[in-house]
Every structure is written in C-alpha cells, then in structure tokens.
Chain A
Amino acid sequence: MAIKRKQKSGPVSPNTMMLRRTLFLMVVCGIVAFLLLALRLFRIQIIDHDYYEALAVDQQLRETTVSAKRGTIYDRNMNILAMSASVSNIYLSPAEMVMYGEDPALIAEGLSQILDMDYNEIYEKCQNRNSWYVTVAKKVDDEIAEQVRAFKEAGYQTLNDDGKPVTRAFQGVKIEEATKRYYPYSSLASHVIGFVGADDYGLAGVEYYYDDVLSGTDGRIVRATTANGTDMLFTDFEDYYDAQDGESVVLTIDETVQYYLEKHLELAVENYDLQNGAAGIVMDVNTGAILGMASLGNYDPNNYLEVDEETQERADALAEIDQETADAVLAEARNAQWRNKALSDTYEPGSTFKIITLAMGLESGAITMDSAFFCGGSMMVAGRTDPLNCWNTGGHGSETLTQAIMNSCNVALVNIGQQVGAERFYEYARAFGLFDKTGVDLQGESNSLWWDEDTFFDPYNQSQLAAASFGQTFTITPLQLITAVSAAVNGGNLMQPYVVSEVLDGEGNTVSQREPTVVRQVVSEETSAHVCEILEQVVGNSAGTGKNAYVAGYRIGGKTGTSEDVVYEAQTGTKRYIVSFIGIAPMDDPQVAVLVLLKAPGPNASTYVSGGQMAAPTVGSIMADILPVLGVQPVYSGDEAAIVDRAVPRVIGLDLADAAAAVTEAGFTYRTVGSEGTVTAQLPRSGSTIAANSEVILYLGDEEPQESTVTMMDLTGLDYESARIRMGWAGLYINGEGAMLSGSAYVTRQSVPAGEQISVGSVVTVSLSDSSNLGRY
C-alpha cells in the first residue's frame, strides 16, 4: 500500500490547518488543563489542607483510654475512707458489627441476659450503624465483665469465603477498664470526703477540692488503624501516654472522732427533735487541723443521689401528678443533704461569740481580770429607743468578769464592747479572721456578713456594736467561729484550718506534707491563758451556764450559745433557734475544740431550748468519747473521785477475802450469795462501768446468778445518787453522763426506756442535766 501510495503521490505532509489544530490541542490538553488541575490541587492540598487532614486523622486514629486509678483518701490513722476498685464498661461498636456482618439480634440477646437489661434497648443501640462507641453498661463488676468477655469470644458460627464453617468472635462487643469509687464507711464524714460523679470527677468535698491530685492523668493509646480497625502496618503513628495514677491524700479527720461526733449529733437530732439537722466540728486548736466535721442530715457518697425515704416517697407520689415538681423536690433534697452546714451555712453565733469579745477586751486593755460589772437586767444603748435586755431580765447584779462570762451576761458584754470601742472591735473581729474565708481546703465555704464600717462606727447609734458584743447582727460560718475561738485559747495564734495533712504517691511515699499555718497572732499568750481560765469556770463551776458539758476527769471549758436563725427568718419569716456550744479541753493545755450547732429544735424536744440544755450535754458526750481517743487521760479531782463511775474488777476464782478486798478497793460495796468456796460468778460482769458505792454480788461455790427480768423504772427527775439506790433495789446498775457533779443535776434520759423488761444485773446509762437557771444563753 505504502509503496503504491508513494508511487502515486508520495506521503502527504500535514498541512498548516492540521498543525494549527494540533497546536491548539497542545495548549488546551498539555497546558491549560494541567494548570487548572494544579490549581485544584493547590486548593485541596494547601488551602484546605488542615480541614481534610483533620477529617482524615479523625477516621484514622482510634484512641483508647487507659483510666488512671484515682487516689485513696485515708483518715489520719490510715483508715481508708475512699478508694477505687477496677470495674469495666461494656460498649458496642455498631460500625464494626456492620463491617463484620455480625447479627445485632444475637448480640442483644446475649448481652441482655448477662447484663440483665432489656433486649430492645440493646438492639436499638446496635442500630447506630455509623458509631464506633455506644455505651451499654457502665461500671459493671469484674465477674459480669468476664461473662461478657466469654460471650464475645464464644462468638458465632458463620461461613468463610471458601464456604467452610468457622467461629468468629463478636468484634462489635467491647469491654474497657474503668474504676469505681467505694466509700467503706458509707455516710461517715461524707461532707468532708465528698463524692465523685459518674465520670470519676470529684463533685464535692475533698474529692472535689483535691480532684487534680486524686484523679491523676488518664493514659491514652492512640493508634493509627485501618478502616477495619486493625493496626496500620509500619507506621510510627502510635502513641502511648501512660496513665499516671492519682495521688492519695491523708486527712486530718480521725475516723473514731468523726464517728462519735456524728453519733452524738444524731442522738441530739432525735432527742431534741431538730428540724434542720445539726453541724459539728472538732478541731485541733493548736494546728487548725480538723479532726471531725459533720453535717446532718447527710448522705451516703456511695449513692449520693439517694435521698431519705420520706422525701423519696413524697417525690414518687408527686411524680404521678407532675414529674417536674417531683424532680424539683428531689433536687432540693439532694442539694440540702450535700450542703456542709459547718462550712456553707452562716449564722449568728450568739453567746459563743462572747469568748471573742472577752479576748479582745482583755487584749486591748479595755478590761482586766479584775473588772467588775453590774447587770440590772437591761441597759440603754445610744441609738436604741427601747432598753437592751439581758437574757436574764431579772438582772445578774454585781459580777466579776469571770462571773459575767459564767452567767453569759449580755449587759456586761455590751459594757466590754463599748469599752473596746467600735473601731477596735472591728479590727479585732478582722484579726480573728471573721471577715475573710478561713481558706480551708474544702469547697463551699461561705462569706461572713458584717455591718459596714460607717454603720458600725456610728457614735450616735451603738446598737450594732452592742448587739455584736454578744454575737448578734452579723453572720459567720461555724468554721470561722471555731477557728477564732481556737486562736483565743491556743496562746493567741489564728490558724488556718485544713483537712488534708499529707499527699502520698502510689507507693505510699510522702509527696507533700501540710505544715500548720499561722495566719497571725491575734492575742497574747497571757490573754489566751485568762480566757481559758474563765471558760473553764463556765463548765466546771456549778454556777456556770455550761455545766452540762461537764465530763468527770476532764478539765473542759466552753461557752453556750442560743441564737435565732436569722438567715432562715429572712427567707421564710418563721422564727427558729440555733443552739450551740463550743467546748475546749483540757483547759490546762488546750488541745481540742468541739463546736456543735443544733438547728431548729422542734416541738418534741425533750428539754428546754437553749445551748446550755441541748448543745452543752452533746459536746460533753462527744468530749467524753473522743478525749481518750486523742490520748487525753482523765484525772479525777477529790470531789469527782467520790462520785465518778468506776470499773468492776474481775474477782472470779478468788476466795472471798481477796474478792471482797478487790471490790471494796474499787469503791463498791458487795453482798454474797452462797457460803463457801471461791467466787464462781459475779454481777455485774467485770469491766462494766457503774456508779461508785454500787453493790456488787459475789456468787460462791455452786451458786449461780438467776436468769430473771424486772421492769425498768422511770428515773427521770431523780438525782444520780437516788437513781443508783432505786436501781440497786431492783438488782440493776447505772452509770452516768453529763453534769454528774452538779448538786442540782437530774436524770433527763435513760438508755433503757421505762417499762421495758430488763435482765437483773444489767447496766443502764443515765444522762444528767442541770436545769436550774434556764435561759436562752
């Protein structure tokens, strides 16, 4: 062909038109199109780079969290108050179910049985087809997690690509480790410890305040994965961030002290029909360490959402009508039970504040230990139209400084306040830390509220100064009061209160240790010693208003307080009382202060509503229980030794002469049953603490105590000696608590109610209270 063509005409060269059109193609296909494509690439790769990269990385990286173990919370004796245990979260990866063709019905079936959940609920979660993470169950125990793991591995039967039957594990079922918080002592110290939410974040108390310390840092494994979720080959795109376990904290709280504090507060709630619970703080006066802090009603941090039965029933009933109202009721109840009344609720301290007025009077030189006062029952104050009344409107007459405090005399205190003067009073109040938060390491501390300077300093209206002198017309927190009072009795140093004394690492090594912080010296040691001297008389002297806080063998000082709940009144217009007592012991070397607030005694209170009648005995009971724990040994004075209860010695196995000597030596009388042989049994049993001079029964030879019961009698209103004798007639024993030394103390309560059947030889505890001189002091 070619030859023929060539012979005819020869090959024809491309003409100009062809060349032009080829050139056109060259420009369009070789240059223009490629420039456009390069521009397009520039847009995607350079301008939108970050956008696409983020999306790509988002799908390429799988992040697995390795949860850090939350630190432990110990009390001061290394008892565990809060700890974390490992549990598992169960979740689904519906995307992988789709990818591997797993049957959601099978998975829902299996999991619903193991987890005891609704089949449909799990099946619904499986339908979330684009998701890699759908939570099914959180914080299940290891045992359950193990069952889920077994179910996952057992998998399902299917055919592989070659049609052979194979068993494949469920890739869509996932188990991840998590931790769960346990509080072994349940509600004990719940307001100090706080609690953690579902995600292990501290929400209250130390758990919240020290969340950073406790929580540690979660570890992460970031893996680059294929679309199938398996690891990418040869990529260094894998990062491990080790979990940093949380550090542990050691609290200043003493579990035993806390237990007694709460126990006696609970008794007070019951006995005095307290409508708004109670608050209490036990503080080491020398360091500011908080040994115990309680707020009733409280909650169990293990189930912090649970409210008391009554409220729950009310909410349930409401829920049938209106869910929103029911939820509001529950929310309100929860907020109330989580609120730390010792820290967050402010109040007028009332007469307990007189300790501070006394300290500033002595320190400023406005008064001396020799100052004398006269109380006619009322006095006129500049700026007031009506006279200011003492709680004892009959008047206290002439009184020394000590007597004025013992009497809790308002008139005398107003005198002291006036002599100190408004400006100095204000300065001292500030120095005692009553204007600022204490800075305690707990969340939720409230601010105090005082009159502004202009009002307080007004020379023509001294009513604010006058009222402030005996603790009214300003509000502070209980913690501020106990901190200020501690400063007044510890030698004059205002300490910063704290609850965490030490931070420990995972191995128990100390990371940091809290040293007591002196905020400032407020009063001199001399003033402090005088204050102690006077406060001891308030309790120890039978004429003192705080005598119901007396504990035999301990030198306790303190001050009563009865105030109207002005915060509540401002909110509701209803009047109710807060009765309080702050006790300090031992007065020769103050170690510990106990402040108790009993809020809103109700109509069924068993005694007269006042700090002296309610809070003082409560503090006394707390002191009696905690002082031995804190290593303060009782020392009995001569008077006390005659009256104080004592322990029955063990005399079984001794012959009569030795037994009689031992019993007599211990301060008891005795009678015998049987005539010969050694002592084979005794009533009451050895170790029981009973009133001195009680009659111990010694059984000789074959004689044995007879099993018999008697009806418990009503001891209320008897003095201690009479009660002992009456009980002795029935073959029963007593021991006492409260104002045992006071000549005018009578039984107000008994541990076994009258009318109950009780075994002969039993020991009944009676509470003695001095109800002479009743008043709102």
Chain B
Amino acid sequence: MLRRLPYRIQIPFGLSVAVLVTALLVTGISAKIYVSNVREETLATLDRAVVLIGAQARPMLAADDTWKTFTLLRDTAALIPGATKGNARLALLDVEGRVFAASDPIKLETGQELLGGLWRGKVLKANSNHNDRKTKLPRRICRFAGVNKK
C-alpha cells in the first residue's frame, strides 16, 4: 500500500514512522534498563539498611537485650523495602546463627537455627572467619522459645 503512494508522501511518512519506531524502541530499552536498575537499587537500599541495623543492634546484642532488639526491629522495619506489606523479613541472629529476634516471629521463630543449615535449598554460611564470641541465648529466651540448651 505504501508503494502505491506518491514519492512525496512516502518519504515524509517513512521518516515519521521511523521516528515513531525509534521512540518505541528507546522506550522499550529504557524499560528494560529500568527493571534492572530497580533490583540493583533495592539491593543497595537493603545493603545500607543492613549496615545501619547492624550498627544499631551491636550494643543490644552485646547486652543480650532482647526487648530492645525487638523494638529496634519494629522501628527500622520501614527501612526495608516490602517489610510493611509482609514481603520482607528482618532478623538478628546470635553468634551461633540462631534467631535472636525477628520482625516476623511466626516465620522466623526465635532460636531457629539458620546458619549452616539449608534455606530454601541453599546453605546459609557466614562469610567471616574472625574469632566469634561464643554467646548463649539468655535463659529466659530459651525458655520462651522452647530451645534446649546444648
């Protein structure tokens, strides 16, 4: 049909279509880049939140203060993307890799051992080889969680 049109119409029409197709292609590529950036930005936000929560939780872990830890998790949950809608969970583990406190205690039970075990088919390992401080769960927490002390 385009070939039936006169030359004076074909060229402007072709150029206009080329511009339109280019705009659509640019939009598509931008969308793909945007999707990729969204994941990277979310992970970066999570990284910053992890560092912040780690710094905030350090004195509480040192003091074995469970309640303050829970308070901290409750107050900082808003920093974690999706946490308010239940799509993200935050937990602090003790030195042996058991849940010390969690934002969602139903899914992450206190005392549940995460490190060294399988988590959805993958082994959770700490990346640190430093000397670990052997801490024990406070007695009252163990009783609360029903964990037998080894």
Are both chains from one complex?
Answer: no
